[in-house]
Amino acid sequence: MAAPNPALLHDKQAFIADLVGQMTLAEKIGQLRLISIGPDMPREKIVQEIAAGRIGGTFNSVVHVDNRMMQDAAVKKSRMKIPMFFAYDVVHGHRTIFPIGLGLASSWDMPLVERSARVAAIEASADSLDMTFAPMVDISRDPRWGRTSEGFGEDPYLVSRIARAMVRGYQGPSPARRDSIMASVKHFALYGAVEGGRDYNIVDMSPMRMYQDYLPPYLAAIEAGAGGVMVALNSINGVPASANTWLMQDLLRKEWGFGGVAVSDHGAITELVRHGVARDGREAAKLAIKAGIDMSMADTLYLQELPGLVESGEVSMEEIDRSVRNVLGAKYDMGLFHDPYLRIGAAADDPADLYADSRMHRADAREVARRSMVLLENKNQTLPLRKTATVALVGPLADAPLDMMGSWSAAGKSQSSVTLRRGMAEAMRGKGRLLYAVGANVTDDPQIVEYLNFLNWDDKEVLQDPRPPADMIAEAVAMAKQADVVVAAVGESRGMSHESSSRTRLDIPASQRALLEALKATGKPLVLVLMNGRPLDLQWESANADAMLETWFSGSEGGHAIADVLFGDYNPSGKLPISFPRSIGQIPTYYNHPRVGRPFVEGKPGNYTSQYFEEKNGPLYPFGYGLSYTDFTVSAVSLSSARLERGGRIAARVTVTNTGRRKGETAVQLYIRDEAASVVRPVKELRGFQKVTLEPGESRTLQFDIGEDDLKFFNARLEHVAEPGEFEVQIGLDSQAVQSARFELL
């Protein structure tokens, strides 16, 4: 009788080799298939397929009853009795929705980021899931790209730190634990660099830049133990990632030693034909399996084509076995051979109400959300607000529970979102007065409305207020006139920052801008609460708003968290993980750009320097920037030595002081500038940060240790080296406001 041999369970390699030895070619190919379970799919058909050994795992099925039925089919009805695994996009929370990636990154708080992933894993595993397609660690420097929202920003160091924290959170001490899920880092590789920020476009990039800037986060996730990799949809220097043997074999397997499972993105193998590198489906399947795509997601090509390809000898049995071993290895690592029902549990224990609040982690979500917000402006200390005030709350995002969740909000339900309106009302109850008017639709552009409606397949996302815009504005203005202060919640709807939602403009849509202009004309203090999934062009807003809080899409507890910040119950500490350009024409605007021969010099806007002559140069808000309700100063940098020996370390110290009147927290950032090297190096690079909380008047000395490793980069031969010479250490509160000192590497 063919089946996994429990006597070999203690030895992963022997166990899997024994299993593979018993499998037919058809059963092997079945393991390489990852199928999306849609709500309307006939259950009997799925069970039949699984029992016949034609499916290795599923995604998009998050209900115990369904997953148990499928697992029963696999382990009780199929010949080989190999368990299935159940995957899902658990990207920023599961039932409890945390802030989107950019928000998590804005916290610069690794234990907090890890906690968000841990909670997501606890909830997802309790819903019978074994694997997530996350973390998404694509570096993005072009905010036109809609998936910028999902990632953690522009900086390889920060994103790598977050990648590690997320993997630790999802997988816990081991992906085999009942309350852990396996992480599959995505999208391998370079998806964030699609040309022009247009989704699915090509990526053409020098190897040096790949190694230096774009690849480190994937490697960090793998080093942290991510059991899976999802392969990107884009091509890389002419070869689609899904057919790219250099990427999948030379880099991922040989150079990085990845031993887990590689899954394609949705339909990516079929798309090889449209990329124009495969004549037909047969050739696409051949290219993908040879490159090392272990599992095909949501297409039928492996099922249809691999048998013939093996028979003709074009694909060897060893190539099939290699992928089968990776899939079975991942299942082993998820603990499924020890117990296929590890996360499914017994029917008697199934939750009565999947959406019960008791299954959620609201306190965690609120804590993470309030730490994810970035105070961009606060003129004349407009914030914090008094709870006893009369506040006019306006804007299409003030009471928008679905938008609040952001895109890829997994099993989150909009009914569980606390909107800003609710959060403020609760905070002000019995104290002040909260007036509310919607004021404008997110957009009135019919083409965009149609697009957003198209994206919205399971909820009514874009509910347009049918009133004439002028009437809506008039209502809001009348309300503003009765108030002490106006809070306007404006930005993007969640569908505007999503997969395939690339934009050609970064401004706040015209309908909302018109509202803001009318509110400004009332002369009342104007506080903007921004909700958006990418850096926006905020030139008008920064000039006209009295205060501006970037809240991203802040999740299930967003309304409470924003109210905490607006009323000063929490003093904001978030810092931008991505630069905000002044205009779309400045893109790419990233702080760590390579040096040039004629750099623009502030205050000397002369000709023949690298600049745009029509507007001020540099970002509107730099990387690392974020205000607080208190003030901090950073002292001059003192170095323990002006010379660093190979293998040694020097200490860089600064004293940070809270010079304001409130307790506050800030992220103190360490940048390094390589003064001269064998290749052009960035103007500076983040190499460390520390979060510090200080009482009013309190000072603390922070120490950053710098070693040779912190000075390393990839040279023209792609060797990771630290070259001798001078370096500048910069320490400060953002990428521009820094103190500096120099040392020499011997």
- The DSSP bridge partners found for residue 2 are none
Q: Report the residue number, 73 or 268, with the smaller CB distance to ligand BGC.
A: 268
Q: Report the residue number, 136 or 518, with the smaller CB distance to ligand BGC.
A: 136
How far apart are the C-alpha atoms of 537 and 108, rounded to whole Å?
23
How far apart are the C-alpha atoms of 651 and 695, rounded to whole Å?
25
695's tokens:
């009482």
How far apart are the C-alpha atoms of 328 and 508, rounded to whole Å?
48
Q: Is the dihedral of CA 279, 280, 283, 284 positive or negative?
A: positive
| Contact status, residue 205 vs residue 153, Cβ threshold 8 Å | no
Q: Report the residue number, 147 or 387, with the smaller CB distance to ligand BGC.
A: 147
Kindly report the backbone phi and psi dihedral angles of residue 125, in degrees, each rounded to the nearest multiple of 5, phi listed first.
-65, -35
Closest approach of Cβ 145 to ligand BGC, in Å? 12
Closest approach of Cβ 37 to ligand BGC, in Å? 12
Q: Report the residue number, 86 or 133, with the smaller CB distance to ligand BGC.
A: 133
Which is nearest to 237 in space by CA: 277, 208, 204, 272? 204
Q: Report the residue number, 408 or 567, with the smaller CB distance to ligand BGC.
A: 408
| Contact status, residue 80 vs residue 539, Cβ threshold 8 Å | no
Binding site for ligand BGC (CB under 6 A): 89, 133, 186, 265-266, 499
Q: Report the residue number, 38 or 603, with the smaller CB distance to ligand BGC.
A: 38
Angle at which helices 301-311 and 317-333 cross, to 10° = 140
Options 66, 138, 213, 265, the catalytic residue: 265
Closest approach of Cβ 90 to ligand BGC, in Å? 10
Which is nearest to 371 in space by CA: 554, 119, 534? 554
| Contact status, residue 553 vs residue 404, Cβ threshold 8 Å | yes
- The DSSP bridge partners found for residue 686 are 671
Return the SS3 of 132: strand
Amino acid making up residue 255: E
Which region holds residue 241: left if phi is over 0, alpha if psi is between -120 and 50, else beta? alpha
Q: From the CB of residue 322, how many other CB atoms can be counted at a distance below 10 Å?
A: 15
| Contact status, residue 483 vs residue 435, Cβ threshold 8 Å | yes
List b or e across 172-194, with b for residues whose CB sees 16 or more CB atoms inside 10 angstroms.
beebbbeebbbbbbbbbbbbbbb
Q: Is the dihedral of CA 612, 614, 615, 619 positive or negative?
A: negative
Whole-angstrom CA distances from 393 to 117, 378, 560 are: 32, 18, 15
- 109 catalytic? Reply is no
Kindly report the backbone phi and psi dihedral angles of residue 484, in degrees, each rounded to the nearest multiple of 5, phi listed first.
-80, -30
Closest approach of Cβ 233 to ligand BGC, in Å? 6
Residue, CB closest to ligand BGC: 133
Q: Report the residue number, 499 or 564, with the smaller CB distance to ligand BGC.
A: 499
| Contact status, residue 387 vs residue 477, Cβ threshold 8 Å | no
Closest approach of Cβ 275 to ligand BGC, in Å? 15
Return the SS3 of 37: coil
Closest approach of Cβ 189 to ligand BGC, in Å? 14
How far apart are the C-alpha atoms of 236 and 218, rounded to whole Å?
15
Q: DSSP code of 590?
A: -
346 Cβ partners below 8 Å, 6+ apart?
Answer: none
Q: Report the residue number, 233 or 365, with the smaller CB distance to ligand BGC.
A: 233
Q: Report the residue number, 78 or 407, with the smaller CB distance to ligand BGC.
A: 407
| Contact status, residue 531 vs residue 490, Cβ threshold 8 Å | yes
Q: Report the residue number, 89 or 367, with the smaller CB distance to ligand BGC.
A: 89
- The DSSP bridge partners found for residue 27 are none
Q: Is the dihedral of CA 293, 295, 296, 297 positive or negative?
A: negative
Whole-angstrom CA distances from 629 to 385, 564, 661, 662 are: 11, 13, 8, 7
- The DSSP bridge partners found for residue 390 are 433
Return the SS3 of 663: coil
How far apart are the C-alpha atoms of 567 and 386, rounded to whole Å?
6
- The DSSP bridge partners found for residue 672 are 685, 729
- The three-point CA angle 292-294-299 to 5° equals 115
Q: Report the residue number, 27 or 271, with the smaller CB distance to ligand BGC.
A: 271
Closest approach of Cβ 517 to ligand BGC, in Å? 38
743 Cβ partners below 8 Å, 6+ apart?
Answer: 639, 641, 642, 643, 644, 650, 706, 726, 727, 729
Closest approach of Cβ 272 to ligand BGC, in Å? 16
Closest approach of Cβ 5 to ligand BGC, in Å? 33
Q: Report the residue number, 131 or 480, with the smaller CB distance to ligand BGC.
A: 131
Q: Report the residue number, 266 or 649, with the smaller CB distance to ligand BGC.
A: 266
Which is nearest to 551 in space by CA: 482, 481, 488? 488
Judging by DSSP bridges, how do beta strands 638-639 and 649-658 pair with one another?
Answer: antiparallel
Q: DSSP code of 547?
A: E
Task: List residues with catalytic annotation.
Answer: 265
